[in-house]
Amino acid sequence: MRHFQRATRGKSARMSAYRYSAIALLLIAASGCASSQSSSPNLDLRAEEVGTTVAQATAKGLRGAERVGFILDKMTTAEKLGQLNQMAGGRQIALNSRITDAERDRVRTGGVGSYLHVAGAEFLGDLQHVAVEDSRNGIPLLFAMDVVHGYRTIFPVPLGIAATFDVDDAELAARVAAVEASAAGLHWTFAPMVDIARDARWGRIVEGAGEEPFFGSAMARAQVHGYQGEDLKRPDTIIATAKHFGAYGAGTGGRDYDSADISERTLMDVYLPPFRAAAEEGAASFMVAFNDIGGVPTTANKALVNGLLRGQWDYDGLIVSDWNSVPELLNHGVAETRSEAGALALVASVDMEMTSGIYAADMLEAVEASPALEAALDAATKRVLMAKDRLGLFDAPYAYHDPAREAAAMLTPDHRAAARHVAERSMVLLRNDAGMLPLKPQPGKVAVIGALAGDARSMIGSWKAQGREEDVVTVVEALRKRLGEEFVVYEPGAGTRDVADPAAIAKAVTAAEAADVVLLITGEDYNMSGEARSRSDIGLPAPQKALAEAILATGKPVVTVLMTGRPLDISPLDSDDASILLAWFPGVEAGPAIINVLFGDAVPAGRLPASFPRRTGQSPYFIGHNPTGRPADVDLSKDSARYMDIPITPAYAFGHGLSYATFEYTNLRLSSDTLAPSDTVSIGVDITNTSITNADEVVQLYTRDPVAQVARPQQELRGFARVHIDAGKTKHVTFTLRPEQFAYFAPSARFEADAGRIDFAIGAGAADIRLAGSFQVTGHVIADGPAAAIATSVSISEE
């Protein structure tokens, strides 16, 4: 790649005192060299003093940890605190807006180690020059941003990506995002969010992979690998951040930022496994959560962060706070002053402090007075420097700042094709009772109803990075292109927020009545899920509900396309003859992807990564709950663990998703009825496509430990595979498991798998089990980590 050409941009005025003195010293050294050989020891000494600290270390031939150690030794306490300081260089909607002359001075004096909410190869290249050439130590800056489901080429929201049930799709989306973001000068993304989310009220459920820890672990690994590639030193890779470490998704009542009052077992077996998987995959960064677990904010949780993550898991990556989460320790009521808050976080091993400036502004005296804080500061600074080293920034600080690369990388045809591919694969056919889908190639006149159909902003979801509305192909545009203008009429009818306008709804009804087929595009808008977007009612927004009811009442054939970032109560749409395609927020290729699936050019095979409750009051609903002493019973005359006013099942369970094809599961094979410690067991099944449509099937393996020291979940996913099977063909799918995969956090505070029976079930969804069996684990096993973080090996072969 071409490197940044600083000279061409005439920035010589920035040449600093350090560089002048370095050149002067070099001249003196050269003249001394000519006069006498015996002065060489002095020359070496002078060479050491020449240039920035980084330049000195590099000139000495030091690399990696040795170079970092050399730099660390030369840093003042204030400079170390500066390295831990991450400032907002802008806001999500106004990138770079805070990079003023005063900020550049902060860089020159070593008062900052990283910026977030910044972008642009050239702009950030200029700033990097200030850090590398105009500061005493010459330490490059880290540039960070929330690149969550694409940078310029926007993919489906993460919950949609998860719904592909395909780790390759998740990896592809992250890879494309990394290629674009790195070209725009970014080194570091705050993604993937790997928080388990079991409560659909929580708005941030949209940002993760849903409810299931084994599934979340697989998606975490794939995304980390996509962002970071094989080698972070390659300039098209970026650091991934597993966030928000702890139990951010377990906030009480589904409220964002709220306390997680969960058991240690739930923390260990459910919330932490995706983090463990991300750490094992080499995620170079972690972010701690805003919220507390049982009263201990994770930002100050020394036992969890320093003890478990650093100590037991041996994690030596860069840990960053969340936005302002260090000063918020005062609001939590666990610190009285800013410097107390900073000390708690630093000792907990939170290396970098995001946005408040506490470490740099309030900690100097405290650190100078405390050897323990000083040691924590050294360790944190070392980890920040090592992150920069892992990216190769000490040797190639401008590798991410080539404007030509940036111009060429964005929204390429390949990237668009990838976004469409993933979007098509993310869609979940919730029901197709009247068999209306796929649509006929010439369906006649189609009425597209609902403001979301033309809402380009919503199609790209809440974390849009540099995505632009004008890049989006909407549903209306894609359909007009396919069928011709004369066959498509569009009536918004109602938006998502205003009070429904009866006149607009009446117009939509008239349009529907005059059409052969109605496409009702309904759901939430992009800003109803995401951070601080928890809802007490997960029903359709009122105007959407009013519109949907009016359209369904026409009796016309209606196909519903649901846009949402969370599971919704869709009871108003859910009639016995409904056809409902769940599209999430699909990204820049929303329109073509939805239309391709509706017409059968792409056959839906997405699956739900989070169960859809029937009503808000059923939240949190998840398949992995414990059985209780009185398990839920359909018979209302029995006293059991259920609500009396709705069925015991969810509307749609985890793993649910239909196809235009049909599949038969046969020939269950078990390699052995027993599984000994250090052995494996294989479970095989044949899947036959019994239809005339080539399609994908998502085969899912669930297990259950029926008798253990503690109650164990009713269903735990332990394997899944999205398999393409041509019409009439059969494929063999085999999952191989080891005993550690049945371990749980036992009363001993260790992960134990007991000897005894394990039940398993294979099917097309948690509520669509086709075959089942069991085997015996023959000996007790102690595992070194949570079972859900362990990957299952899957093999797929043809007939």
Does position 359 interact with ligand BGC (CB under 6 A)? The reply is no
Angle at 163 between CA 455 and CA 228, to 5 degrees: 95
Query: What part of residues 99-118 is at the interface with ligand BGC (CB under 6 A)?
Result: 116
Among 269, 322, 362, 696, the one annotated catalytic: 322
Nearest-approach distance from CB 464 to ligand BGC, in angstroms: 13
Task: Please report how many Cα atoms fall inside a 13 Å half-sphere around the Cα of residue 254, on the Cβ side.
Answer: 27
Query: Is the Cβ of residue 116 or residue 517 nearer to ligand BGC in the bound state?
Result: 116
Query: Is the Cβ of residue 199 or residue 716 nearer to ligand BGC in the bound state?
Result: 199
Does position 702 interact with ligand BGC (CB under 6 A)? The reply is no
Residue 134 designated active-site: no
What are the structure tokens assigned to 254, written together?
């589904």
SS3 of 86-119: the string is EEECCECCECCCCCCHHHHHHHHCCCCCEEECCC
Query: Is the Cβ of residue 431 or residue 464 nearer to ligand BGC in the bound state?
Result: 464
Nearest-approach distance from CB 118 to ligand BGC, in angstroms: 12
Does position 378 interact with ligand BGC (CB under 6 A)? The reply is no
Burial 426-446 (b: 16+ CB within 10 A, else e): bbbbbbbeeebbbbeeebeeb
Does position 663 interact with ligand BGC (CB under 6 A)? The reply is no
Nearest-approach distance from CB 326 to ligand BGC, in angstroms: 13
Of 143, 215, 275, 323, the one binding ligand BGC (CB under 6 A) is 323
Does position 463 interact with ligand BGC (CB under 6 A)? The reply is no
Report the C-alpha gap between 728 and 698 in whole angstroms.
Answer: 17
Element (H, E) at 797: strand 793-798
Query: Is the Cβ of residue 207 or residue 705 nearer to ligand BGC in the bound state?
Result: 207
Other Cβ atoms within 10 Å of 37 Cβ, number: 8
Query: Is the Cβ of residue 288 or residue 436 nearer to ligand BGC in the bound state?
Result: 288
Nearest-approach distance from CB 354 to ligand BGC, in angstroms: 7
Nearest-approach distance from CB 287 to ligand BGC, in angstroms: 6
Query: Is the Cβ of residue 257 or residue 660 nearer to ligand BGC in the bound state?
Result: 257
Q: How many residues sit in the footprint of ligand BGC (CB under 6 A)?
A: 7
Nearest-approach distance from CB 256 to ligand BGC, in angstroms: 9
Q: Which of 458, 459, 411 is nearest to 586 (CA)?
A: 459
> Which positions from 127 to 146 touch ligand BGC by CB under 6 A, shown as an x/- string?
-------------------x
In the bound complex, which residue of the shown chain has the CB atom lying closest to ligand BGC? 190
Burial of 20 (0-12, 13-18, 19+ CB in 10 A): exposed
Position 236: which residue type?
A: D
Does position 149 interact with ligand BGC (CB under 6 A)? The reply is no
Other Cβ atoms within 10 Å of 413 Cβ, number: 7
Nearest-approach distance from CB 253 to ligand BGC, in angstroms: 18
Query: Is the Cβ of residue 51 or residue 327 nearer to ligand BGC in the bound state?
Result: 327
Sign of the CA dihedral with 596 first, then 600, 606, and 612 last:
positive
Report the C-alpha gap between 116 and 123 in whole angstroms.
Answer: 13
Report the C-alpha gap between 168 and 180 in whole angstroms.
Answer: 18
Report the C-alpha gap between 591 and 416 in whole angstroms.
Answer: 12
CB-based contact 103:132 (threshold 8 Å): no
Query: Is the Cβ of residue 378 or residue 531 nearer to ligand BGC in the bound state?
Result: 531
Sheet architecture: strand order including 744-745: 744-745, 751-753, 781-783
Query: Is the Cβ of residue 146 or residue 525 nearer to ligand BGC in the bound state?
Result: 146
Nearest-approach distance from CB 739 to ligand BGC, in angstroms: 36
Nearest-approach distance from CB 144 to ligand BGC, in angstroms: 8
Nearest-approach distance from CB 418 to ligand BGC, in angstroms: 24
Report the C-alpha gap between 610 and 19 in whole angstroms.
Answer: 57
Q: Which of 95, 249, 69, 239 is nearest to 158 (CA)?
A: 249
CB-based contact 579:562 (threshold 8 Å): no
Query: Is the Cβ of residue 256 or residue 768 nearer to ligand BGC in the bound state?
Result: 256
Phi, psi (rounded to 5 degrees) for 278: -65, -40
Q: How many residues does the chain have?
A: 799
Residues 6+ apart with CB under 8 A from 295: 259
Nearest-approach distance from CB 517 to ligand BGC, in angstroms: 41
Position 174: which residue type?
A: A
Nearest-approach distance from CB 81 to ligand BGC, in angstroms: 21
Position 714: which residue type?
A: Q
The rounded Cα 111 to chain-centroid distance in angstroms is: 30
Nearest-approach distance from CB 588 to ligand BGC, in angstroms: 22
Does position 243 interact with ligand BGC (CB under 6 A)? The reply is yes
CB-based contact 85:58 (threshold 8 Å): no
Q: Give, in order, the Cα–Cα distances in Å from 588 to each of 154, 456, 459.
A: 5, 8, 7
Of 151, 190, 275, 760, the one binding ligand BGC (CB under 6 A) is 190
Q: Give, in order, the Cα–Cα distances in Å from 327 to each of 233, 355, 590, 648.
A: 34, 10, 40, 44
CB-based contact 786:276 (threshold 8 Å): yes
What are the structure tokens assigned to 62, written together?
């030091």
Q: Which of 693, 699, 700 is nearest to 726 (CA)?
A: 693
Query: What part of residues 505-564 is at the interface with ligand BGC (CB under 6 A)?
Result: 531
SS3 of 590-655: the string is HHHHHHHHHHCCCCCCCCCCCCECCCHHHCCCCCCCCCCCCCCCCCCCCCCCCCCCCCCCCCECCC
Query: Is the Cβ of residue 153 or residue 462 nearer to ligand BGC in the bound state?
Result: 462
Query: Is the Cβ of residue 119 or residue 583 nearer to ligand BGC in the bound state?
Result: 119
Does position 322 interact with ligand BGC (CB under 6 A)? The reply is yes
Query: Is the Cβ of residue 118 or residue 521 nearer to ligand BGC in the bound state?
Result: 118
Binding residues for ligand BGC, per CB under 6 A?
116, 146, 190, 243, 322-323, 531
Catalytic residues: 322
